[in-house]
Amino acid sequence: MAKASERCWWCGTDPVYVAYHDTEWGVPVVDDRALFEKLVLDGFQAGLSWITILKKRDAFQRAFKGFEPERIARFTERDVARLLKDDGIIRSRLKIEGAVKNARAWLAVMEAGDGAFRDLLWDAVGHRTIDTRLARREDIRAESPESIRLAKLLKKRGFTFCGPVIVYAFMQAVGMYNDHLVACPRHRACAKLARK
């Protein structure tokens, strides 16, 4: 666990947020389904704080059938109506329908035969973590040339709720960028994981 005095400021003191910072954020993810789940959750975050999504993550996993794209892709208008009544999740018709659309796009990528979902995503950073070595929080950006290119590619492949800012947050979270401040103990830990 990172020391509170050195930990990245953005997670504050909420135990859920601190645990996320200390165990997940910035750790390289290469599992296709886990990457899909994170992309969908980042889409639901649009306009909200990430802690809101974290505190509803269990409800999201239940509502979206463990984020199995094959199951979500078969959701009908009846499923959308059911989810719009589920107060455990963010009840936005556009975001729910976007998750279904993204599941169908994920299946299309996986069935295209030109690599897995992880290959499509990690190709944006040359299949290795970019260590930004940020010293101050003012240095963190909202998007990057890589997130702009990846957002365009995802949209071209049929994904939604994947603009450059959402994609950049996704890339930080799944370890495509190591944006932990260098003073944070998790910076070094994530850098070691990226080299494996």
User: What is the dotted CATH code of the domain comprising 9-195?
Assistant: 1.10.340.30
End-to-end CA distance of the chain: 20
C-alpha torsion 73→77→79→83, nearest 10: 110
Residue 174 buriedness (CB in 10 A; 0-12 / 13-18 / 19+): buried
C-beta of residue 39 within 8 angstroms of C-beta of residue 171: no
Q: For residue 168, which amino acid is it?
A: Y
CA atoms of 102 and 33, how far apart (whole Å): 12
Token code pair at residue 125? 């950073």
- pTM for the predicted model, two decimal places: 0.94
Burial track 78-112 (b if 16+ CB lie within 10 A, e otherwise): ebeeebeebeebbebeebbbbbbbbbebbbebbee
The pLDDT of residue 5: 62
The predicted pLDDT at position 115 comes to: 76
Q: pLDDT at position 6, please?
A: 86
pLDDT at 196: 59
What are the C-alpha distances in Å from 49 to residues 25, 139, 174? 15, 20, 17
Per-residue pLDDT of the chain (196 residues; tens, 9 = 90+): 555 568 999 999 999 999 999 999 999 999 999 999 999 999 999 999 999 999 999 999 999 999 999 999 999 999 999 999 999 999 999 999 999 999 999 999 999 877 799 999 999 999 999 999 999 989 999 999 999 999 999 999 999 999 999 999 999 999 999 999 999 999 999 988 876 5
Give one word for 191, left, alpha or beta, with left for phi > 0 and alpha for psi -120 to 50: alpha
Sign, Cα dihedral of 116, 61, 103, 47:
negative
